[in-house]
Amino acid sequence: MSNEAYVPTAAEARADEEFLRAQEASGTERFIKRHSLQARVTHGVTIACCLWLVVSGLFVFIPALAQAAGPGVVFAMRMSHRVIGVAFIAVPLVSALLAPKGVRHIFRNLFAKWDSDDKKWMILFFPYLFMAKWIHMPDQHELKSGQRFADGMLWFSGALMAVTGVILLVGSTVASFPAVYAWTLFLHDIGFFLICVFGLAHIFLGAGIFQPYRGSARLMFGDGMVSESDALYHWGHWAREELESGENVVEKEARR
C-alpha cells in the first residue's frame, strides 16, 4: 500500500498556514536539545583518545611503518598508546558513574524493540546511501535502527579494545601469560578492524560529510541541539514527540 498525499481539511489547511506564518513572523526557529554538555564532552574526549589510539596503534599494526619510523618513535607511540588508552577507558567510565540515568537511557535506546519503520529503514539504508536524493526514509525514533546497530558495534568494539588493551598492558608489564596474550592480541586486532569500519562510517555520517547529514556535527561538537527541520527529517517520530511535549524545545533566531 502506498503513501498517498494527505489532503487536509479546509480548517486544517488554514491552521497550518497560520502556524507557518506565525513561525516566519517570529523570526525564530525551534530547536530540540538532544545531547547534554557532559555527553558532548565525554564524546569529544573519547574521540580524541580514539583517534590517537588508532594513529599510535598503527605503528605496531603496520610493520612497514614501525620499521620506517624506527624504534625510538615506535617506543614513544607505544607508551602514548598506553597512557591515552587509560583515558579512553577512564573518561567514559567516570562519565557513566556521574550520570547513571544517561547510561540507562543510552542502552534502553540501543536495545529498543524494532518496529516496522525501523526494519524498513534498515533495508533501505544501503540504497539510500547511494540514492539519497531520491529515496525518502521512514520516520525514526530517538535512535535510528541503523544507528542502534552501528552505535552498538562501536560500543562493542570500544569495550573489546578496552578489555583486551588492559590484558595486553598487564601481560607486558606485571604478568606473563604468552598463550592468552597471543589470543588477546588477535581480539585487539578484531576490535581495531571493527573500529576502522564502523568508526569511518560514524565519522562520515555523524560529522555531516554525507550531504543529507549536513549539520549533524553540531549535535556533538556544537550546542547539542538539532533544528526542528533536521529532527523531523532524521528522527521523525522522536521529533514530533519532543515538539508536542515542548520540554526540550527552545526557540532561537532563525538561520537565513
Residues 92-111 that bind other proteins (CB under 8 A): none
Nearest C-alpha neighbor of 205 from the set 139, 142, 128: 128
x/- map, 209-248, other proteins, by CB under 8 A: xxxx---------------xx--xx--xx-xxx-xx----
Find the binder of other proteins among 130, 247, 253, 256 (CB under 8 A): 130
Find the binder of other proteins among 31, 52, 88, 192 (CB under 8 A): 192
User: What is the SS3 assignment for 157?
Assistant: helix
154 alpha carbon, distance to own chain's centre? 8
Based on the shown chain and the rule CB under 8 A, indicate whether residue 113 belongs to the binding site for other proteins. Answer: no
- For residue 44, CA distances in Å to 51, 63, 120, 162, 191 come to 11, 30, 32, 17, 20
Based on the shown chain and the rule CB under 8 A, indicate whether residue 50 belongs to the binding site for other proteins. Answer: no
What's the closest the beta carbon of residue 99 comes to other proteins, in angstroms? Answer: 29
Find the binder of other proteins among 12, 26, 93, 105 (CB under 8 A): 12
**Cβ 53 vs Cβ 84: under 8 Å:** yes
Find the binder of other proteins among 178, 247, 253, 256 (CB under 8 A): 178
Based on the shown chain and the rule CB under 8 A, indicate whether residue 51 belongs to the binding site for other proteins. Answer: no
- CA dist., res. 148 & res. 195, Å (int): 15
